[in-house]
Amino acid sequence: MLSIEEALDVVVEHAGRQTPSPVEHTDAVGRVLAKPVVSDIDSPPFTKALMDGFAVRAADLPGGEGTLRRVGQVAAGATPDRPVGEGECMQIMTGAPMPEGANAVVMIEQTEAQEDQIRFSAPGLKPGTAVMPRGRELEKGAVVLEPGHRLGPAEVGLLATVGHTLPSVYPRPRLAVLATGDEIVPPRTLPGPGQIRNSNASTVVALAREAGYDIVELGIARDEEADITTKIRQGLAADVLILSGGVSAGKRDLVPRALTSTGVQEVFHKVRFKPGKPLWFGKHDRGLVFGLPGNPVSVLVCFEVFVKTALRARGGHRSPRPALIPARLTAPVPGAKDRVVYHPAKLEWSAAGPTVQRVDWFGSADLRAMSAANALLEIPIGPPEHPAGATMKVLPLT
Ligand code: AMP
Ligand code: MG
């Protein structure tokens, strides 16, 4: 049986990539670039002043001291009408192009004007002071964003700056979810004897939407191979199909067989961790399939740990695995015996850094415990107890 780490490796290896397509740059936030972005301009497009003051030749003011003759002025958006010669200076505004000849700007606060005679007192003045050279931020023809870069707000602004309004990005995978089980009824139905409501599909829809993915619900399949197979066929149109239930070792656990009969290739079945050991993962020509164990907490944990990793990998993310962070235990926690446990937990930020404690948990069906949790605490196999104060790894939930 695979460990969590091994299973995550396998998921990333088999996840594949969505086919890149161009999208409007303001719709591309959160997506990953598939092609490099090249600047079509120098930025700034001209050498510009970074302060309101006077454009000078630094050599004319040894030690920043001296008096120069004002020969004009230049505002932002204007162009200087003459160069600055020896013994001269030109009044300049922030963002305005530097006049030829000048190589530094002295801020207005370090000057005193007597008509056109300007006295300077600018200790530390040197060529380049308060000046931004042309092309300092961006050079025309240079790659400003590499493939694999995730586009945040700064990157979207940068795309606008360089006129690259239709970047090529990996689209988000589209999902489908199918619940299985003879005992499962829709949430609007009052369950009869032996029945329970389908909470898993709603949980998966919410997990997907919260993370920004489109998802369709395929309803509930009976524990009969024909019914499961028909509904799986519909689900294979999605990039990633997610099933709940029917993957354990029970007699009515028909999902793995139904999947392989529709041409889905099993990649692994079972991972050495809790809650979610019977997890099934497979792929077909166009997409991926996860068979999640039916227990509601398993669904949540498996989605957070495995499905999201696959979705990020397909979406081109460079680090698709779950990002666990260190946090200190506020109370002792018993060690895991034979399987790593992902336990619902409360992560808090104290002045001394993040702390974590388990939330009470009545097992894999306990969504109420999950609703008090904002993280999963990873409990490794090993010591019989992890003492209060120990540093553990935690997966924050969005
Ligand atoms: P299974 O993986 O099919 O053996 O189901 C494991 C447990 O999860 C059983 O107690 C099921 O009743 C429960 N379960 C299965 N599917 C769902 C569902 N869609 N919503 C809520 N609970 C479910
Ligand atoms: Mg079942």
Does 2.40.340.10 match the CATH number of domain 325-396?
Answer: yes
Give the residue range(s) of CATH 2.40.340.10 domains in the chain.
Answer: 325-396
pLDDT digits (tens, 9 = 90+) for 349-379: 999 899 999 998 877 778 888 889 999 999 9
Which of 178, 200, 274 for a ligand 1 pocket mutation test, highest count of atoms within 8 Å of Cβ?
200
Query: Is 48-132 CATH 1.10.10.10?
Result: no
Class of the domain covering 29-42+137-170: alpha beta
Q: How high is the pLDDT of residue 40?
A: 95
**Phi, psi (5° rounding) for residue 255?**
-65, -50
Q: How many A from CA of 245 to the centre of ligand 1? A: 5
Within the chain, all domains assigned CATH 3.90.105.10 are found at 29-42+137-170
Give the residue, by CA position, lying nearest to ligand 1 atom 10. Answer: 295
- Residue with the smallest CA separation from ligand 1 atom 14 is 294
Residue 283: what pLDDT?
Answer: 98
Give 164-202 pLDDT, tens digit per residue: 999 999 999 999 999 999 999 999 999 999 999 999 999
Using the atom order of ligand 1, give the atom closest to the CA of residue 179: 19
pTM here is: 0.88
What are the residue ranges in the chain where pLDDT is below 50? none
pLDDT at 82: 96
Q: What is the CATH number of domain 4-16+172-314?
A: 3.40.980.10
- Ligand 1 atom with the smallest distance to the CA of 246 is 3
Instruction: Judge if the beta carbon of residue 198 lies within 6 A of ligand 1.
Output: yes
pLDDT, residue 370, reads: 87
Name the residue at shortest CA distance from atom 3 of ligand 1. 245
pLDDT digits (tens, 9 = 90+) for 347-356: 999 998 999 9
> For the chain, where do the domains classified as CATH 2.170.190.11 start and end?
48-132
